[in-house]
Amino acid sequence: MKPLIPFLTLAFTCIARLAATPQSPVELKLSEGFKNPFGFYDAAPSFSWQLPADPQSTSQTAFEIVVASDLNLLFANADRWNSGKVASDQSLYIPYHGAKLSSRERVYWSVRYWNQHDEVSPWAEPASFELGLLTNDDWQAKWIGFPGHGKNERTQYDTPLYRPVYFRKDFSAKADVVNARLYITAKGLFEAHINGQQIGQDRMAPGWTPYHTRVETLTYDVTKNLAQGENAIGLILAEGWYAGRFGPKRTWGNEPPPEIICQLEIEYADGSQQKVLTDSSWLATTDGPIRTSGIYDGETYDANYEMPGWNRPGFAATDWIQSVEFPIDSKIQLRPKRHFTTRDKLELTPISISQPAPDTIVFDMGQNIVGVPRISLPMKKGQTLRTRVGEALNRDGTLFTGNLGTAKSINNYTAAENGIAEWQPQFTFHGFRYIEVTGHDSSQPPEFSWVKGVVQYTDFEDTGHFETSDVNINQLQSNILWGLRGNFLDIPTDCPQRAERLGWTGDAQVFAPTALFNSDLHAFWSAWLQSMREEQYDDGQIPVVIPNATGKFTETGWSDACTIIPWETYWRTGDKKVLEENYDMMLRWLDYSATHVTDGISTQRTVGDWLQPYSQQKDERRGDTDNSLISTAYYARSIELTQRTAEVLGDTGKSKELKTLHTYVKQAFQKRFFDSDGRHTGAFETQTSYLLALGFNLLSPDIAKKAANHLVRSLENADGHLRTGFLGTPLLAPTLDKIGRQDLAFDLLFKETYPSWLFSVSQGATTIWERWDGYTHLHGVNKSQGSLNHYAYGAIGEWMYERVAGIYPLEAGYKKIRIAPLVDSHLTYSKGAYQSPYGLIESEWKLKDNTLQLWLTIPPNTTAIVTLPEPYTQNVQVSGKPYQLEANSSLQLEPGTYHLTASGPASP
């Protein structure tokens, strides 16, 4: 007689499954990760969702999407699209195939799925999106500006001084407003008000794009801001990136005046509509309290110029004048913003107060940040308070500003009465840790509550977490995160403090994988890549900064961002759209690059391995690595990534062509730059020369093995220290890992003497620096005007997350995951967590008494290959049950949470 226990267990399992309905899908998102977006940019979106953490439903076998113009129609008669049941395990980026959508349209959608048992889930809680104005034809408003703006006032750099402009318009509204939308943008920066209330919480809006091609628009729901009867709209317009003293020349002198456009559309219950449009009938003045405002130089506010009620109905605008209007230029697209706006994200309180002079107070925020100071302190009527900011202090405790270049970074506030002055600059931002205050009521002792550090960056969410048993590595991770926050303000900038703040492509491409782990940057990168496409020259050149502020200036290793960032974004999100959008740009870049290639070797210009320490070049910033080696290596890399893109997109002919070309360039590279012993034959044998060759797989296996020995030797010759700049550094740890020298990768990571990652930590860094020796306790700030907030060297984060924590995508978007943590004597504990497109991935390990414990979370609708680190491959248990490892020390896990234990060999 057969035992009953297995039969009963199976029966109870079946009964339990029959009784339990799969849970609904969660985390419904649109395109690049938008939740219920408003004023959305894309009339042909894609749909994504996650399966819930439900043991009943570990995978998806089919789905159904419904889309409707009315919530009541969604499940009864989806009039926009019903996909029907689609057999597919894909839950990300399902393209919309329904009826054509148009500007202003509001749409509702939901989804359900069938699990691995062919059981259908309930419908997900409905989501929605509303489209913005998608074309220039949707705009009836006119651009407006201030007559003669900037003609009579100049800055000290002989550029036009564009004082902020205040605009207003009174209008009447009927009762029973159903919907009201404010569509608005500026060539410059704006802030909008209706009936005295600020609209939205955005900062530095609308952001920075190639203004000659495209200006992004924003949409606000102002239904509740309107009143029956008299209403008023008030706008403030500042120069910003568009018209201010900005860019590498900083003194062009021909910046055009700022302009603004808005369109208020009101829908009433009776079906009637009303529009309030910017035109020459709007009144304007430059005599408001914001006297000046610039990105580099800061903001000046004089409370004596305040105009109570200027943004409310009935204000007597007796001294205001009519605006000047301008038609919409058909060459400049007005399009909804395609990523998130900048916001006030955090607020810091000082950790200490010092007084280096009787009338000077310095507040230490304890963290190098980007944003503005907010004041709330006592002042006397007529006093002018000055806040000046900086990243460091001089030896005497005064503020160090030597690395700001020509950026003043000063904000002034003049009090109109005695009492507490409360103010925050509106149209500028700074990089700083310290706030210097002068001009206050010195009879009052300073208090910590007098200032706050308002942290501003693009409104994305954190997605990654990394920690270890080492406090210095944890500080390094914090520095990486704060460097990201500080330089991802609408675009990825090189630095946030000096008179630069440009979208350098080289910095961005080396840091992109690290950034994509730490934050939800899918939309951010996609938007910046659109600007890159718009800035590409007809001959295929890619400017080194995006938006372009340097002219026709192309550099290998920088301009290759046009192939690297699309691929990295696709690989970590799984969204093919980013490849589809940028494929033509990638091909055109290869065509241009080929014009600098002879016999497989590129002579294209490059700034080199930027800021390599101990460079022997006349311009020590450029590093010693052979420029042609760098150019050829990156040419091969761009070919490889474009070939992969062609393969993903199904362009098999181009894929085959590029494979052949890649092989040819690899062979030429090896023949030109390496001898038969694997040694670099150039004038300078640098670590970066070997890292590019090995990291980009440009050598034959036998030569690569020999070159690996030379790489190790180059480290030994440097006393175990790195000698790499912006291009070589990101490849250090991954390449050492690849050649089996993880021990050296860990040694480099934990090195505390110059140059190293932890050297800056030992000197009190709270962000990543531009130079390895940006600051020392002994000498202060490096006098080379180096930035103390420059994220490029933070690229080491990629290796920490993928190898120390062990989380890496084996298939695009983490559909298949590799969990393979490295365990080294430097650490006893590490934890990594990542909110992937499919859900939470966790890898946490702890080593004690020769026993390794590993806690894992694998999200639904994925699988994971787990490889235990040597030598901890004995006595393996998975959630308390013995497990026999495969020959490669790996095991495959389905979605769920697990606790693994394993031991190393017994001590002799």
CA proximity to 624, closest of 632, 612, 638, 636: 612
CA proximity to 31, closest of 527, 473, 627: 527
**Hey, what are 833's tokens?**
């967590």
CA proximity to 819, closest of 882, 890, 879: 890
Could you write out the three-class secondary structure of 419-458?
EEEEECCCCCCEEEEEEEEECCCCCCCCCHHHEEEEEEEE
> Distance (Å, rounded) from C-alpha 469 to C-alpha 164?
51
Query: What does the buried/exposed string (b/e) look like for 284-309 if buried means 16 or more CB atoms within 10 Å of the residue's CB?
Result: bbbebbbbbbbbbbbbbbbeeeebee
CA proximity to 374, closest of 418, 414, 344: 344
> Distance (Å, rounded) from C-alpha 483 to C-alpha 746?
22
Angle at 478 between CA 477 and CA 484, to 5 degrees: 90
Whether 500 is a known active-site residue: answer yes
* Candidates 64, 130, 436, 770; catalytic one: 770
> How far from 114 is each of 9, 66, 380, CA to CA, in Å?
24, 15, 69
* Candidates 216, 259, 500, 798; catalytic one: 500
Query: What does the buried/exposed string (b/e) look like for 573-582 if buried means 16 or more CB atoms within 10 Å of the residue's CB?
Result: bbbbbbbeeb
> How far from 542 is each of 279, 594, 791, 867, CA to CA, in Å?
38, 14, 22, 41
β-pair type (863-867, 816-819): parallel
**Hey, what are 313's tokens?**
């109905």
CA proximity to 279, closest of 167, 179, 135: 167
- The sign one gets for the Cα dihedral 142, 148, 307, 373 is positive
β-pair type (410-414, 298-302): parallel
Burial class (CB in 10 A: 0-12, 13-18, 19+), 319: exposed
Is residue 769 within 8 A of residue 486, CB to CB? The reply is no
Is residue 434 within 8 A of residue 389, CB to CB? The reply is yes
**Hey, what are 549's tokens?**
């502020």
DSSP 712: H
Whether 153 is a known active-site residue: answer no
- Residues carrying an active site annotation: 500, 770
